Structure 1
Amino acid sequence: MMQRLRILHLEDDPMDAELVLATLSAAGLEVDVHLVSQREEFVLALSRGGIDLILADFALPSFDGMSALLIVRGQYPDLPFVFVSGKLGEEAAIESLKSGATDYVLKNRLSRLVPAVQRALTEAKERAKQRKMEKELERAYTEIQKRAEDYRNLFNSIRDVIVVTDHKGKILHVNQPALQETFGYLPEEVVEQNIGILFTDDDRAIGLELFESKGGAQGRLIELDFRRKNGESYDGELYALKRLDRNGVPTGNIGIFRDISERKKTEEALRESELRHYQFQLELKYAAEIQARLLPRSYPQIPCFDIAARCIPAKQVGGDFFDWQVVSPTVVNLTLGDVMGKGMAAAMLMATVRASLHAVTMYNAPAQAVRLAEQALGLDLENSESFVTLFHGQLNAVRRSLTFVDCGHGFVFVRRADGTVEDLSPRGLPLGVPGDKLYQEGVVDFGKDDALILFSDGLIDARPELSLNNQRIAQQIAELPSAEAMVERLVALTAQTDPQPDDITILVVRCTA
Structure 2
Amino acid sequence: MTQPLRILHLEDDPMDAELVLMTLQADGMACEVQVVSCREEFEAALQRGGMDLILADFALPAFDGMTALAMVRAILPDLPFVFVSGKLGEEAAIESLKSGATDYVLKNRLSRLTPAVQRALTEAQERAKQRQTENELERAYLEIEKRAEDYRNLFNSIRDVIAVTDDNRRILHVNQPALQEVFGYQTEEVVDRSISILYAQDGDFRRTGEEFFDLYGGQKGKLLELEFRRKNGEVFIGEQYAMKRFDSQGVATGNVSIFRDISERKKAEAALRESELRRYQLQVELKYAAEIQDKLLPRTKPNVPGFDVAARCLPAKQVGGDFYDWQQVTPTIFYFTLGDVMGKGMAAAMLMATVRAALHAVTLYNTPAQALHLAEKALFADLENSESFVTLFHGQLNAGHKTFSFVDCGHGYVFVRRANGMVTGLSPRGLPLGVQGGEIYQEGRIKLDRGDVLVLYSDGLIDANPRLSLTNQILAHRLAGLESAEEMVDALIALTETPDPQPDDITVLVVRCTK
Please give the TM-score of this superposition, normalised by the length of structure 1: 0.66
Matched, 1:197 2:197: yes
Matches of 1:484 and 1:155 in 2, distance apart?
75
Q: How does 1:142-181 map to 2 (within 5 A)?
A: 155-181=155-181
User: 2:413 aligns to what?
Assistant: 411
Matches of 1:154 and 1:421 in 2, distance apart?
81
Cα pair 2:416 2:453 within 8 Å, conserved: yes
Measured after TM superposition, the shift of residue 452 of structure 1 is 1.6
Partner amino acid, structure 2, of 1:342 = K
User: 2:222 aligns to what?
Assistant: 220
User: 2:465 aligns to what?
Assistant: 463
Cα pair 2:156 2:176 within 8 Å, conserved: yes
Measured after TM superposition, the shift of residue 448 of structure 1 is 2.3
User: 1:352 aligns to what?
Assistant: 354
Measured after TM superposition, the shift of residue 427 of structure 1 is 1.6
Matches of 1:354 and 1:345 in 2, distance apart?
14
CA deviation string 1:30-84 (max 9, x = no partner): xxxxxxxxxxxxxxxxxxxxxxxxxxxxxxxxxxxxxxxxxxxxxxxxxxxxxxx
Q: How does 1:5-404 map to 2 (within 5 A)?
A: 155-199=155-199, 200-209=201-210, 212-214=213-215, 218-243=220-245, 252-404=254-406
Secondary structure, aligned partner of 2:430: coil
Partner amino acid, structure 2, of 1:455 = Y
Cα pair 1:163 1:172 within 8 Å, conserved: yes
User: 1:449 aligns to what?
Assistant: 451
Cα pair 2:170 2:192 within 8 Å, conserved: yes
CA deviation string 1:205-228 (max 9, x = no partner): 122345544468522111122122
Please give the TM-score of this superposition, normalised by the length of structure 2: 0.66
Secondary structure, aligned partner of 1:390: strand
Secondary structure, aligned partner of 1:448: coil
CA deviation string 1:447-491 (max 9, x = no partner): 322212211122222222333332332333332211111112333
User: 1:107 aligns to what?
Assistant: none
Measured after TM superposition, the shift of residue 354 of structure 1 is 0.6
Matches of 2:454 and 2:249 in 1, distance apart?
87
Matches of 1:387 and 1:511 in 2, distance apart?
32
Distance change in 2, residues 1:436/1:263 (3 Å):
same
User: 1:497 aligns to what?
Assistant: 499
CA deviation string 1:300-359 (max 9, x = no partner): 111221111111222222211111111222221110111112222111111111111111
Secondary structure, aligned partner of 1:241: strand
Secondary structure, aligned partner of 1:328: coil
Matches of 1:380 and 1:191 in 2, distance apart?
71
Matches of 2:465 and 2:155 in 1, distance apart?
55
Cα pair 1:236 1:260 within 8 Å, conserved: yes
User: 2:76 aligns to what?
Assistant: none
Cα pair 1:367 1:440 within 8 Å, conserved: yes
Distance change in 2, residues 1:305/1:264 (3 Å):
same
Structure 2 segments unaligned to the other structure (5+ residues):
1-39, 49-138
Distance change in 2, residues 1:477/1:188 (3 Å):
farther
Distance change in 2, residues 1:252/1:368 (3 Å):
same
Matches of 1:454 and 1:173 in 2, distance apart?
80
User: 1:488 aligns to what?
Assistant: 490
Distance change in 2, residues 1:490/1:249 (3 Å):
farther
Measured after TM superposition, the shift of residue 493 of structure 1 is 3.7
Count of residues in Structure 1 that have an aligned counterpart in Structure 2: 379
Measured after TM superposition, the shift of residue 161 of structure 1 is 2.2
Output the aligned Cα RMSD.
3.3
Rg (Cα) greater in structure: 2
Structure 1 segments unaligned to the other structure (5+ residues):
1-89, 99-137
Cα pair 1:446 1:511 within 8 Å, conserved: yes
Cα pair 1:224 1:236 within 8 Å, conserved: yes
Matches of 2:421 and 2:382 in 1, distance apart?
42
Matches of 1:145 and 1:370 in 2, distance apart?
88
